[in-house]
Amino acid sequence: MALLAGCERRGHAPAEDRPKPPLVAVSARGKASTAAPPSAASQATPPPAAEYPPLSTAEFARLFSELSEPDEHFFSTNYVSNETSYLQVAEPLARWARPGGVYLGVGPEQNFTYIALSKPALAFIIDIRRQNALLHLLYKAIFDTAQNRSEFLALLLGRPVSSADAPDKTAELSAVFQHTLRAPPDHDHFLSQHERLVERIRRDYRIRLSAEDRELLRNAHEAFFEGQLETKFELAESGRKYPTLREILSATTPTGKSEGFLATEAAFQLVQRMHRQNRIIPVVGDFAGRHALQSVGRELARRQLTVSVFYVSNVEQYVLAPEKWQKWLRNVSALPTDPSSLFLRCYLDQGKRHPEQLPGHRTATVLQRVHSFQHRQEKQRSTSFWQIATDEILKN
C-alpha cells in the first residue's frame, strides 16, 4: 500500500542455504558502503516459519482485539495496492530477510507477497483504518475456504468456479485468471458466498462484528465484485491512473520473474498455511499511536521473537510533524529488532524522482536497515520523506 493513502521460488535453494553477497548501502549523496551480513548468532533464535506452532482461534481473536486501537479516518480507499514497484525488491528480500522472524506490514494484498518472500513465523498487518483489518479478516476467510488459487480468486471476485478442472499446481497466473473468469459474475452467488465468509469470521474466528463492521465488509467485498480484476486504489479528487488488481497480481520483478503470492503454488500455499494456522493477525493501529505498536512489541518480546521485515510503505510522510515523529521513533524502539531487521519503504514520485525509480513506475520500493535508521535519527531528526527513503538503501 502506498498510504496516499503493502515465496518459495522453484529451482532455488532455500534462502538460508544460499550464499549471501555483501549488501551495498547507498545514501542519497551517492556514497556507498558495504553492509556486512547478519551474524549467525543474530539469526539463531527463532524457529523457521514452517516449525512455528499454530495459534489457537482464541489467541487469534485475543490478539486482534487487544492489540487494536480505535478506528481512524483516512482519505483514501485502498482495497488494492497502488504500488506498481512492490516487486522491485523481491529477489533481495527473499535472500536477506531472516526466515522465522516477524513480518510487520500495512495496507492490502501486497503484504501476502512480502510474507511469502520473507517466510516469517508470525505476521501482523497494522493499519490506521479498521476497514483494512476487516478486509484482511475477509482475506483470511477466503484463504481458509479456498481449495486452490482459482477458487481463492473466485471467492474474492464473487464468481462461481469449479475446482474439479482447476489449473494444476504448476499453472501460470494467466491460466488461473482464465479458469476463474470462465463463468460470468453472479450477484446472487456473490451474496451467498459473502454471507458464508462473514459468518466464518464471526463464528469460527470469534470476532465480534458490529453493524458498521458488517457494512464495511460488504462494501469491501462488493468493490471486488463490481470491479473484478479492474478493481483499483481510489483517491478522492485525484486524476491519477492507478494500477488494477490484474496489473498488481501480474507484476514481475525487474528480471521478469513472477513472484506475487498468487503467481506460484508455493507462494500461495505458504500464505494459506499461515492463515490456516492463525499466524497472520490484522491490527487496527496508528504508527504514531499509543497502543498498537507498543503492544505488538511486548507480544513479540514475550514470544522471544524479533522483527525481520517491517513494510512501512510511505506512512512515515504522514507522521513527520515533530510531535508525531517522536512517537513513531518511540514505537520503533519498542519493537524487538536485531542487525538483520529490515525496513521496506515505498516512495511515490510527487515531483522528485527517486534514484531507484524504474522506468514505467511512479513508485520506488527500497530496503533499508532498521538499526541504521535509528542511529541516524539519534544524530539528527529527518525532516523529509525523501531523505528517509533515499538514505542508505540496501543493494546487492
The span from the CA of 367 to the CA of 95, in Å, is 12
Q: Is residue 305 part of a domain?
A: yes
Which region among 135-149, 159-173, 289-303, 306-320 has the lowest average model confidence (pLDDT)? 159-173
CATH of the domain at 340: 3.40.50.150
> Mean pLDDT for the chain?
87
Residue 392 falls in which region: left (phi positive, over 0), alpha (psi -120 to 50) or beta:
left
Nearest in space to 74 (alpha carbons), one of 222, 233, 223, 243: 233
Q: What's residue 179's pLDDT?
A: 94
pLDDT, greater one: 37 or 306: 306
CA atoms of 78 and 248, how far apart (whole Å): 13
**Would you state the pLDDT for residue 76?**
61
Kindly state the average pLDDT of the residues 280-303: 97
Q: Does residue 356 belong to any structural domain of this protein?
A: yes
**What is the band of 7 on the pLDDT scale with cuts at 50, 70, 90?**
very low
- Report the domain count for the chain: 1
User: Does 273 map to a domain?
Assistant: yes
Range of 81's domain? 15-148+266-395
Looking at the predicted structure, is the pLDDT value of residue 193 above 60?
Answer: yes
Q: Which residues contact 157 (CB under 8 A, 6 or more apart)?
A: 180, 185, 224, 225, 228, 229
Is the pLDDT at 336 greater than 50, yes or no?
yes
Alpha helices in the chain, H assignment, sequence order = 40-43, 57-67, 90-96, 110-118, 130-145, 149-157, 173-180, 187-199, 211-227, 245-250, 265-276, 292-302, 322-333, 370-379, 385-390
pLDDT top residue among 179 and 8: 179
The reported pTM is: 0.88
